[in-house]
Amino acid sequence: MKRFLLILTLLIFTKASVNAQDDGGEDKIRDRMREFIQKRMDLTKAEAEKFTPVFIRYFREWRTTLRENKGGDRLILQQKIIELKLRYRPEFKEILGEKRCNEVYKHQDDFIREIDQLRRERRDRINNKPVRVQRLSPI
């Protein structure tokens, strides 16, 4: 009985620890994506300070939209993402100007493609498959 309770307790704490790490991992991805976009857009310090809180709000809503529509109709997901981008466009436009505000989404897509490529390379290395390297630029 004691052994059972010990194992159950360990499982509960392990699950809590994994959940805490997942949240930290999401923040890490968000911060790296933000840094990537800021570097690509060559934002000034003032622009970066204004951009960061707006981007964090956008990122959280974007992740929530992805989670809520996971496994659902792909077209509905795309529509919701476009609606989200349209809703945040005026805020990015105020910070970055008319011409550069849409670049945020382009660089976000670039970042996602590069992360996907890195994941494929890592998976291929684990499976001992030859790796195809095709990056847009270093992160």
- Using one digit for the tens of pLDDT, what is the confidence trace for 21-51? 455 678 898 999 999 999 999 999 999 999 9
The DSSP element (H or E) to which 106 belongs, if any, is helix 103-126
114 close to 29: Cβ distance less than 8 angstroms: no
Q: Are 77 and 65 in contact (CB under 8 A)?
A: yes
- Both tokens of 21, joined, read 């790490």
Query: Residues 1-27: what's their mean pLDDT?
Result: 56
pLDDT at 20 over 50: no
What separation, in Å, do the N-terminal and C-terminal C-alpha atoms of the chain show? 52
Q: Return the pLDDT at 1.
A: 59
Q: Residue 32 and residue 37: Cα distance in Å, rounded?
A: 9
- Segment 123-136 mean pLDDT: 69
- List the chain domain ranges: 26-126
Degrees (nearest 5) of the Cα angle 119, 51, 38? 45
